[in-house]
Amino acid sequence: MPELSSPIYFDNAATSFPKPPEVAEAMHRLIREISLSPGRSAHRFSLAASRVIFEARELTADFFGCPDSSRVVFTSNVTEALNLGIFGLLAPGDRVLTTGMEHNSVMRPLRHLEKTRGIRLDFLPTDRTGGIDPDDLPKQLNAKTRLIIINHVSNVTGSVADLTAIGKSKGKALLMVDAAQSAGVFPLDMEGMSIDFLAFTGHKGLFGPTGTGGFLLREGLLIPPLKMGGTGSNSEQEEQPQMMPDCYESGTPNTLGIGGLAAGLEFIRSTGQETIRRHEERLTRLLLKGMSQIKGLTVHGPPASANRGSAVSLTMAGRSVSDLAFQLDRQYGIMARGGLHCAPAAHRSIGTFPQGTLRLSPGFFNTEAEIQAVVTALEQISTQS
């Protein structure tokens, strides 16, 4: 095994680590130099904070192919964004077409509304690798289908949904995309893919800090806000302002985090998203190739040759996934995640419920030597009695 002086982080699907130094530097500078409450006062710190948010909004709109940055709304994570969209868009009797690969940030609000609001869920068939076939979409659509909700890249298997094909077949239904795992790595084009509601989290592939995320809303789509309060605008009114994005952003925003997110977006722009994706692809291929030689190890997900994300799920005969994760961490200094990854539906779909899987998720800052180290560690564990 190569000499490794520091622990190895393979849990980028949970949150990316390390962040680019530019992100830490931008946040350090902001918290030292300005007071970070935007839009509330006319003094220079408040104006500077407003500029931080405005520039981040412009960068985000541009990044996701949205022509109007006022349609970008910042939230504390993708979970909040998805909840706002799901609760705001669905009325009694509506049907939702979704997949068996959704994260609980989608499944739990949907199951709740199924019970409390009488919505109905329909599911696209999922194969054993977590893949869905866009050709199944027209068969599953119904006159009452208000919303299609799709996880772009699975946090369990790495399978990728073909959003362009789905966007073309969506008919009158609205398309909501959970881009938690894909944003920053896979191309996302709101207009080109006919996405009506694109939800992203800031702390994974976009390299921002935790506590950041948001959504982009198609023009003309009106959704009631989840929270109301001070926005720094229309302060003479006791009613919530209607204008975008203020109507959704009540309360002092996470200016520090949003500034960090903007630095993450700048990092992706200067590095090149394609470069990031190719590096992650190479590491994922190496990982899958190395593991294919290990007896008793099963990979649950698309093969190396497929267009796939970097989340790799595995089980090992005779070993619990929690023991595997524990042993990797304590004995080899390798951080991975064992269990259901907040997506029990996905494990039901691929046949790994209730034990779950060990998930290794390489990111842009991992190296080939680290991949070799985890393959060697798994090989050694597989031979231990």
Ligand X SMILES: Cc1ncc(COP(=O)(O)O)c(C=O)c1O
Handedness of CA 379, 382, 383, 385 (dihedral sign): positive
| In the complex, least distance from residue 1 CB atom to ligand X, rounded to whole angstroms | 30
57 Cβ partners below 8 Å, 6+ apart? 69, 70, 72, 74, 245
| In the complex, least distance from residue 136 CB atom to ligand X, rounded to whole angstroms | 20
Q: Residues interacting with ligand X, by CB under 6 A?
A: 77-79, 103, 105, 151, 155, 178, 180-181, 201, 213, 342
Ramachandran class of 156: left when φ > 0, alpha when ψ lies in -120 to 50, beta otherwise: alpha
Beta bridge mates, 197: 176, 217
In the bound state with ligand X, the residue whose beta carbon lies nearer, of 178 and 266, is 178
In the bound state with ligand X, the residue whose beta carbon lies nearer, of 179 and 288, is 179
Q: Which amino acid is at 11?
A: D
SS3 state at 31? helix
| In the complex, least distance from residue 151 CB atom to ligand X, rounded to whole angstroms | 5
Alpha-carbon distance of 44 to 115, in angstroms, equals 50
In the bound state with ligand X, the residue whose beta carbon lies nearer, of 80 and 370, is 80
Which helix (H) or strand (E) segment holds residue 259: the answer is helix 255-271
In the bound state with ligand X, the residue whose beta carbon lies nearer, of 46 and 79, is 79
| In the complex, least distance from residue 346 CB atom to ligand X, rounded to whole angstroms | 9
In 95-144, beta strands by DSSP E: 95-99, 120-124
| In the complex, least distance from residue 302 CB atom to ligand X, rounded to whole angstroms | 16
- Helical ranges in 117-249 per DSSP H: 137-140, 163-168
Alpha-carbon distance of 105 to 121, in angstroms, equals 15
Cα-based angle 139, 140, 146 (whole degrees, multiple of 5)? 130
Do residues 199 and 85 lie in contact, with contact meaning Cβ atoms separated by under 8 Å? yes
| In the complex, least distance from residue 108 CB atom to ligand X, rounded to whole angstroms | 11
225 Cβ partners below 8 Å, 6+ apart? 84, 88, 240, 247, 248, 250
247 Cβ partners below 8 Å, 6+ apart? 225, 231, 240, 241
The tokens describing 46, both together, are 């408040």
In the bound state with ligand X, the residue whose beta carbon lies nearer, of 34 and 321, is 321
In the bound state with ligand X, the residue whose beta carbon lies nearer, of 46 and 349, is 349
In the bound state with ligand X, the residue whose beta carbon lies nearer, of 46 and 201, is 201
In the bound state with ligand X, the residue whose beta carbon lies nearer, of 46 and 181, is 181
| In the complex, least distance from residue 207 CB atom to ligand X, rounded to whole angstroms | 13
Alpha-carbon distance of 185 to 195, in angstroms, equals 18
Q: How far is CA 263 from CA 180, 188, 202, 209, 371, in A?
A: 18, 19, 11, 10, 28
Looking at residue 20, the DSSP 8-state letter turns out to be P
In the bound state with ligand X, the residue whose beta carbon lies nearer, of 34 and 346, is 346
| In the complex, least distance from residue 44 CB atom to ligand X, rounded to whole angstroms | 33
